[in-house]
Amino acid sequence: MWAMGLYLCEILKDLLTNLIKVTITGGVLWGVVLLNYYLKRNQLFICKGIKPSNRVFRCMNIAFEEIRIEEDEKKFKNIFDEKEKKQLLAHSAGKKIFDGDMVRLSKVNNNICFVQKIKYFDFLTTNLIFKPASSKLLSPKDALWHMIFDEEFRVRNKLENRLKSKVAWYGKLKSFDAILNVDEFANAIATSVVLRDNQDRILIVKRSNKNAISSGDFAVSATGSLKIEDLEKENPFICAGLREVKEELNLDVPLKITDIIIVKQKYQPVILMEGKIEQNFSELVETIKKAIDYNNENTKIYAVPCKEIRGIARKYKFTDTSIYQLAGTCNALSWFFTKKRNIHKYELK
């Protein structure tokens, strides 16, 4: 009997020890989930305090004399096969995505811009996996549920970690050239256009929730990407900007390149442009709303006076590209203390 009692005590002791370990492990896991949730929830507030110029890496040379297509297709290496791409993009169901041709910025050397043909899904499954510009924020309860019971979530997380471990070999990515040197990044070239009217107002748009990237955000007048057919034109970057302005706003406006950046929000090269129209945006509302892609890209448009634009950018959720383009010269102190302004009174109907 005595021996039996000791044996039962040992069993109870082991059970109690294992229960404590499980409780501690569960508590730590729950704590990590909670911390991750609250950090992400407050990310917008934290990011709004970062001055615009610290949100991007700038290219030191924007005077390209030539754009040359690289024939070496081995330069870009998407580490995911077609099945894995579909698994990574499963969360984008309902968004406006199709695997069209895009142009990759491979390198900039001696005033020559080297580019390469890629696919849209290459960009979505590389740069945007490493730096997700738009991702659904799960509550702690939902995140824990997905981690335990959702097989697709765990598979996607495993694939994302594989990419991050590959990129880790390149060290800290702290410059424009450092990001271009990552062979595993698609680095799809985007365009971003700011338009002004004859009253010195800037056209701001509210992006549609149908967009796969930065859906629902505020943005500058027109955004898009460089296409393969643009490379056949005399100035591919300007042609891409003109095409996007026509498709999204139904306007024909002369443009000029003002900067070339890689935005830290999603590690994407962006050609920044601006243009001025000789009319008032208020007179062009009907024309703008007849654009081919207006309803797919935008839900609302606003004509904001230049003197108010920093306050608008400070208050609302803009893409980092747009914030840099609208308030890039603002220093940290003046940006932090910029008075927030209301955008709704400037809506064009």
For residue 66, what is the enclosing H or E element?
A: strand 66-69
Residue 188 and residue 118 in contact, taking contact as beta carbons nearer than 8 Å: yes
Query: Which residues are CB-neighbours of 2 under 8 A, at least 6 positions away?
Result: none
On the question of pLDDT at 239 being above 70, the answer is yes
pLDDT tier at 46, thresholds 50, 70, 90: very low
**HSE (side-chain half, CA atoms, 13 Å) at 141:** 0
* Separation CA 106–CA 2 (nearest Å): 77
* Separation CA 183–CA 105 (nearest Å): 11
Predicted structure pTM score: 0.81
Position with higher pLDDT, 196 vs 145: 196
Position with higher pLDDT, 7 vs 202: 202
pLDDT of residue 107: 85
What are the structure tokens assigned to 215, written together? 């859906």
Tell me the mean pLDDT in the region 204-220.
80
Question: Among 184-188, 270-274, 276-280, 315-319, which stretch is predicted with the lowest mean pLDDT?
Answer: 315-319
pLDDT tier at 45, thresholds 50, 70, 90: very low
pLDDT of residue 60: 72
* Separation CA 259–CA 261 (nearest Å): 7
pLDDT of residue 314: 86
Give the number of other Cβ atoms within 10 Å of residue 90's Cβ.
12
pLDDT tier at 100, thresholds 50, 70, 90: confident
Instruction: Annotate 79-98 with DSSP letters as a single string.
Output: ---HHHHHHHTGGGTTSB--
Tell me the mean pLDDT in the region 183-204.
93
pLDDT of residue 41: 47
Tell me the mean pLDDT in the region 17-21.
73
pLDDT of residue 334: 75
pLDDT tier at 29, thresholds 50, 70, 90: low
What rounded mean pLDDT belongs to the chain? 81
Residue 191 and residue 273 in contact, taking contact as beta carbons nearer than 8 Å: yes
pLDDT tier at 42, thresholds 50, 70, 90: very low
Instruction: Annotate 225-261 with DSSP letters as a single string.
Output: E--GGGGGSSSHHHHHHHHHHHHHH------EEEEEE
On the question of pLDDT at 202 being above 50, the answer is yes
pLDDT tier at 133, thresholds 50, 70, 90: low
On the question of pLDDT at 222 being above 50, the answer is yes
On the question of pLDDT at 139 being above 80, the answer is no
* Separation CA 77–CA 293 (nearest Å): 32
Tell me the mean pLDDT in the region 188-213.
88
